[in-house]
A and B are shown apart, each in its own frame.
Chain A
Amino acid sequence: MRKILFPILGLALLLAWPFVAEKIGSPALITLFTRMMILGLAASALNIALGFGGLVSLGHAAFYGIGAYAIGISTTHAISGEPFLGLVSGSNLLIVNVLVAVVVSGMAAAIIGALALRTSGIQFIMITLAFAQMVFFLFLALKAYGGDDGLTFRRRNALFDLNMRDDATFFYVTLGFLLVWLGICARVLHSRFGLLLGGIRQNERRMQAIGVNTFRLKWFAFIISGMGAGLAGALMANLGRFVSPDLMHWTTSGELLIMCVLGGSGTILGPVLGAFALIGLEATLNTWTEHWQAILGPLLVLMVLAFRGGLARIGGRKP
């Protein structure tokens, strides 16, 4: 009962949140919570590789940023009317652009994963970091799409006849994507693939001895994980109507890792809880002092020590 009670309460709170924020006269809280959900989705995507597959990636900001740039580039071409590379016209439709973002980030994950997964441990962490930094510098040098200034577009992508300018509407759209993604994560975790992937995380040698092609399974997990990060990037680009190479800076990968660890890697809801906790703390502390990071660091250490296994495992629960 408790296992489903907390998620249902959380969902009810989120559904009511835009009304609550308007009621208390803080509509900016709607955008803040939208950002939390998007970063929760990105952390949850990383969790497929990290929590389910034991792959500590410090390069997921690359897929997050690629997803965001897919939106920025497609939308910019749709507005200007010029085809991308003279071949494909852009789009202002959210569904089309999200699909493009997910496919492109999945392809990037397939290429990076095919190379990075030939290593393990600290080498894997370093090689994913190196690839992400390469992508970061590539977009930094891409003057056609704003270089280090990034890309700004006026309107959010269209979805049916919804008023996407309205922050509350975009909040619910983001919530919908988050729920679909968490549903996919739950399916993955409880599938044959999930059981074998968990086995690889626990003991790769054992899995090889029963005939599992462990490289292929880890690669699939890395691709799904990259696709999820791309989806989150696509939503973040729409939230701010702005993309820049900062999205794929290595510190973003680090933040996503912290969210997973804080919330509970290997759980379905943990990374989302971690995102809410981290962004919530950041937002609260920086209203108190400009040296908020000096407080946040020790606070995170204390939280990780106090809630071993993450927030999602408090009281022995593993939602």
Chain B
Amino acid sequence: MSALLVIDDLTKNFGGLRVTDHVCLDLRAGEVHALIGPNGAGKTTLISQIMGELAPDSGAIHLDGVPLGSLSQAARVKRGLARTFQVPQVLGEYTARDNVVAALYARGASANEADQHLARAAMSARADVRVSDLSHGERKQLELAIALATRPRMLLLDEPMAGLGPVESTQMISILQGLRGEMAMLLVEHDMKAVFALADRISVLVYGAIIASGTPQEIQNDPRVREAYLGTGED
């Protein structure tokens, strides 16, 4: 598989704190690439830089060979990038359907498409419910439907399982399994069950730097990863 998104030597500092430390990452078309690491490792900051919400201090990001450097967030979305948020960012006064319709309008598409995106996120039954009346799990699913409505080639998922119960997590994993192959996904996640169920490859970010990349099996057996993040299992 060819690389769809290439992150090359990306660095970002907040004052004296280095949050992205010479990160290099290749994300291939159609693959699910999980990015794991402890809290504060800089995973969300990396997503924000890919989307153009934050500007890196140095380094480059290419999508399909095109440098994203000076492109606005809107231009990046048009080129096929989409994201979800750890804390759902939804439009509370609108219905679930109108949230998706807004994404369709932003793309210049017809509102008629909304139902198919809601269905893919298992939200059809809640389409006409006002978002302020949805549960946390439903808002997470709605975020996914909104992102799908932008027709992404690369979906950046920021902790989609955060705050979900076991049943909701299982449902979210099943939804994401259903999207596998249609688009590349960068999955930032702490839930290792979800990571090992979904990821084709895993990268481990610690203190802003990638310390290991490989298949789930390779990562599980990597002593540096076990020490820094997964634990040795000896306690």
Contacts and interface: CB of A to CB of B under 8 A. Distances in A.
A213 B74 contact: yes
Contacts of B73: 208-209, 211
A294 interface: no
A202 B77 contact: no
A199 B77 contact: no
Contacts of A205: 89
A208 B94 CA distance: 17
A99 interface: no
Contacts of B76: 211
A192 interface: yes
A196 B105 contact: yes
B102 interface: yes
A211 B91 contact: no
A318 to B, nearest CB: 11
Contact of A192 (B92, B105, B147): B105
A212 B85 CA distance: 17
Interface string B73-92: 11011100011010001111
A264 to B, nearest CB: 14
A210 interface: yes
Nearest to B102: A199
Contacts of B85: 209
Interface in A194-221: 195-196, 198-199, 202-203, 205-213
Given A196-B105, A211-B106, 10 more contacts: A196-B106, A202-B91, A202-B92, A203-B89, A203-B92, A207-B102, A208-B53, A210-B103, A211-B77, A211-B103
B9 to A, nearest CB: 26
Nearest to B101: A195
B159 interface: no
B102 A195 contact: yes
A210 B94 contact: no
Interface of B: 51, 53, 72-74, 76-78, 82-83, 85, 89-94, 98, 101-103, 105-107, 146-147, 149-150
Contact of A198 (B72, B83, B93): B93
Interface of A is mostly: helix
Contacts of B146: 206, 210
A213 B105 contact: no
Contact of B91 (A192, A199, A208, A213): A199
Nearest to B78: A211
A213 B89 CA distance: 17
Contact of A199 (B51, B83, B94, B149): B94
A117 to B, nearest CB: 15
Given A195-B98, A199-B94, A209 B107 contact: no
B101 A210 contact: no
Nearest to B77: A211
Contacts of B83: 209
B35 to A, nearest CB: 18
Contacts of B91: 198-199, 202-203, 206
16 contacts: A192-B105, A195-B94, A195-B102, A195-B105, A196-B105, A199-B91, A199-B94, A199-B102, A206-B91, A208-B73, A209-B77, A209-B89, A210-B103, A211-B74, A211-B77, A212-B102
Contacts of B147: 210
A210 B92 contact: no
